[in-house]
Structure 1
Amino acid sequence: MQNEIKNIIFDWGNVIIDVSMNNFTEACQMAGIKFTDEEVNSTHKAGFFLAFEIGEISEDEFRNEIRKRATTSLTDIEIDTIWNKILGQTPKEKLELLYSLSSQYDLYLLSNTNAIHWNAFSKNSFICNGTNMINSFKGIYLSYQLHCAKPSPEIFRKTIEIAKIKACETLFIDDSSKNCEAAQALGMRVHNYIPGSDLKNSILGEIEKK
């Protein structure tokens, strides 16, 4: 018999907030920004992108890396606007779900993200019915602040340690199978979420498993 779930850790991108790499690459093409195949892929986790996501380079250093690959002169605001094309809307039903679950479970957010994305979207993307649902999370753990990223076991260990929770009492939800496998190896119950599917039913179905 599995341990009772007391904690739920959510990924951010593609689980709570919509993500589109196509929007970013199209904006780059329009601005004359070119990357190598190794630098830009479905997860943009290579080269200076990864360095930015684990806090090894600053926002200004990241923007300058973008400028090196552009054929036109770009301001900081223009670069941020292009970079932020990756993230989209947060469906209202997901925010309402966070509010509902927070009365029964301790919720946490664990995301591979960067300062520009988080600062641009965290202020308003969690607002629902006049309430900031970001307060539903007991803890928020971001790769650029922890200086490591999923699927490294290190970021999961840090999260467990800081949150003071037990892996065996925790459900981890992520759209990446590799991230789920890493969390499962540390004793968490996991759900590999398929973007666009019913998040509520996915969670409840996993919790009800014995």
Structure 2
Amino acid sequence: MIKNLIFDWGNVLIDVSVERFAKSCKAFGIQFADDEVGSAHKAGFFLEYEKGNLSDCEFRNEIRARASVILSDEEVDSVWNGMLGRIPVEKLQLLYMLKDTYNLYLLSNTNSIHWNTFSKKSFDYRGLNADDFFKGIYLSYKLHTAKPDSVIFHKAVEDAGIDVRETLFIDDSFANCMTARSLGMSVLHYKPGDNLESCILKELEQKEVI
């Protein structure tokens, strides 16, 4: 029986647009290697930042080094934050519905600028915040490791004290889902744009828990 649901943040809950970020970068003459930014995984200094191995200041300087104009901290943050949108209200309603029946957790590859900018306002629903929805929030930059590495999964599961056999992991990355499955979790490989509620309820029905 599934008792625990572990959600990814980007593309599962909050809207992500790498294209919007790329457009903002172009406006400031910021250029990156082709493999440095991707919709599911990041590489290079982006990945190091999401693992918490770079400070906000060091990250901003990496962006500045690739720009053709001088950028303030606020301008760098504005470009970087342009990647994220909002959590659609129907997904917040879904979390609100599920939290009384299941133990909800968040496991995300993210960074301090994104989390500190968006975590409060993106989960603002009925006076609640992120901590009200989730029993545990596990972020790559705080844990100094990132999905799909199994280390971050082990850290989250150990801290939460949950049984992987009673856990459904929901992520838009196939690689992340494969790691979760290898550890004994049930997985839902979510495709952005699909109806999240329908996908989850269908998966739970197949597990004969509702």
TM range, normalised to the smaller chain? over 0.9
Question: Secondary structure at 2:48's aligned position in 1?
Answer: helix
Match for residue 85 of structure 1?
82
Asked if 2 retains the 8 angstrom alpha-carbon contact of 1:99 and 1:133, the reply is: no
For residues 185 and 123 of structure 1, what CA distance do their matches in structure 2 show? 33
Structure 1: runs of 5 or more not aligned: none
1:84-115 Cα shifts (integer Å, max 9, x gaps): 01100110010011011000000000000000
The 2-side partners of 1:154 and 1:199 are apart by 27
Aligned length: 207
Structure 1 position 110 matched with structure 2 position 107 = yes
* 8 A contact 1:156–1:183 mirrored in 2: yes
1:104-183 pair list within 5 angstroms: 104-132=101-129, 134-183=131-180
1:180 and 1:191 in contact (8 A); partners too: yes
Residue deviations 1:141-173 (CA, integer Å, cap 9, x gap): 000001100000111111100100010000000
Letter paired with 1:46: A
Question: Would the aligned equivalents of 2:138 and 2:156 in 1 still touch at CA under 8 Å?
Answer: yes
* Structure 2 length-normalised TM: 0.96
Displacement of 1:132 in angstroms is 2.8
The code of the aligned residue for 2:182 comes to A
User: SS of the residue aligned with 2:138?
Assistant: strand
Contact 1:5 / 1:170 at 8 angstroms: preserved in 2?
Answer: yes
Is this contact kept in 1: 2:60–2:76, CA < 8 A?
yes
Give, in angstroms, the shift of residue 208 of structure 1. Answer: 1.2
Q: Are 1:10 and 1:110, in contact at CA under 8 Å, matched by a contact in 2?
A: yes
Q: How does 1:8-157 map to 2 (within 5 A)?
A: 8-43=5-40, 45-132=42-129, 134-157=131-154
Question: Which residue in the other structure is 2:185 paired with?
Answer: 188
Query: Over aligned residue pairs, what C-alpha RMSD do you find?
Result: 1.1
TM-score, structure 1 normalization: 0.96
8 Å contact kept, 1:126–1:132: yes
1:36 CA displacement? 1.4
